[in-house]
């Protein structure tokens, strides 16, 4: 007889409660680390932000560094999932670029403390010889992979001019990060939708095929 496939264990009420508590702790940790930085943040502050006893934090994480790693990585995973889903739903390459920019702007505006944490960690990965293993080293490639694939198909079909899809996706990534930094760190009140549309137009104009012969006046 063929071997039976093991039946997945049912999710219990305790499992749900544990996941909820862990997520609540990570959300509190992102706020504290974003506001204070790693060195100034304390487990006491995270516990107070989460409205739990300090000992409760240690039931889930063995150290401040472990909380930091989990807080950063979980935020990164959520951002990647949301961005990838929006890009995959796009009907055209232009809509994919718009979706990528718009989702990241929305996410970081809703989580400004996490953006501060994100910026610090990106800088640490670029400058430290022994960066913390937070997953940020792989963030650039992971965050642009789906967009890169969309742009690669567009280049192959002639919908975009002959550019390196990975470089084009990274250009969208970089220009989006600049917009987010200006809006989040300066608390801009200008219309985010209009700025996202402007950046989309800017990138599309640079990537779309042109009918102007090389060497001709613009």
pLDDT digits (tens, 9 = 90+) for 149-178: 999 999 999 999 999 999 999 999 999 999
Cα atoms in the Cβ-side hemisphere of radius 13 Å centred on 184: 24
Q: In Å, how far are 71, 143, 166 from 147, measured between CA atoms?
A: 25, 8, 9
Q: How is the chain split into domains, by residue range?
A: 72-207
Question: Which residue, chain included where needed, has tokens 């250009």?
Answer: 171
State the average pLDDT over residues 204-213: 75
pLDDT band at 143 (very low <50, low <70, confident <90, very high): confident
132 closest CA partner among 141, 123, 144: 123
For residue 8, is pLDDT > 60? no
Distance, CA of 76 to CA of 118 (rounded, Å): 8
Say what the pTM is.
0.80
18: which residues sit within 8 A by CB, 6+ positions away? none
Distance (Å, whole) CA 37 – CA 180: 19
Q: For the segment 27-44, what is each residue's pLDDT rounded down to a tens digit?
A: 999 999 988 988 999 999
Residue 7: pLDDT above 80?
no
Fold adopted by 72-207: Tetracycline Repressor; domain 2 (1.10.357)
The answer to whether 83 and 98 are in contact (CB under 8 A) is: no
Tell how far CA 33 is from the center of its chain: 17
For 57-86, the pLDDT digits (tens) are 999 999 999 999 999 988 888 999 999 999
């Amino acid at each position: 007889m063929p071997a039976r496939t093991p039946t997945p264990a049912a999710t219990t009420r305790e499992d749900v409660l544990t996941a909820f508590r862990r997520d609540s702790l990570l959300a509190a940790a992102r706020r504290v680390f974003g506001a204070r930085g790693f060195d100034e943040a304390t487990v006491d502050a995270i516990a107070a932000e989460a409205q739990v006893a300090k000992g409760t934090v240690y039931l889930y994480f063995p150290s401040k560094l472990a909380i930091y790693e989990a807080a950063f990585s979980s935020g990164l995973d959520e951002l990647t999932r949301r961005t990838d889903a929006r890009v995959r739903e796009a009907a055209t390459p232009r809509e994919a670029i718009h979706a990528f920019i718009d989702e990241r702007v929305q996410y970081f505006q809703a989580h400004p403390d996490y953006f501060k944490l994100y910026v610090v960690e990106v800088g640490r990965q670029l400058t430290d010889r022994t960066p913390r293993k937070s997953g940020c080293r792989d963030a650039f490639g992971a965050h642009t992979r789906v967009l890169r694939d969309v742009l690669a198909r567009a280049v192959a079909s002639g919908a975009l001019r002959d550019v390196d899809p990975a470089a084009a996706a990274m250009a969208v990534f970089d220009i989006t990060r600049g917009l987010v930094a200006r809006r989040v760190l300066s608390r801009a009140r200008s219309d985010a939708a209009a700025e996202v549309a402007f950046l989309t137009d800017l990138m599309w104009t640079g990537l779309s095929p042109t009918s102007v012969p090389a060497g001709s006046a613009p």
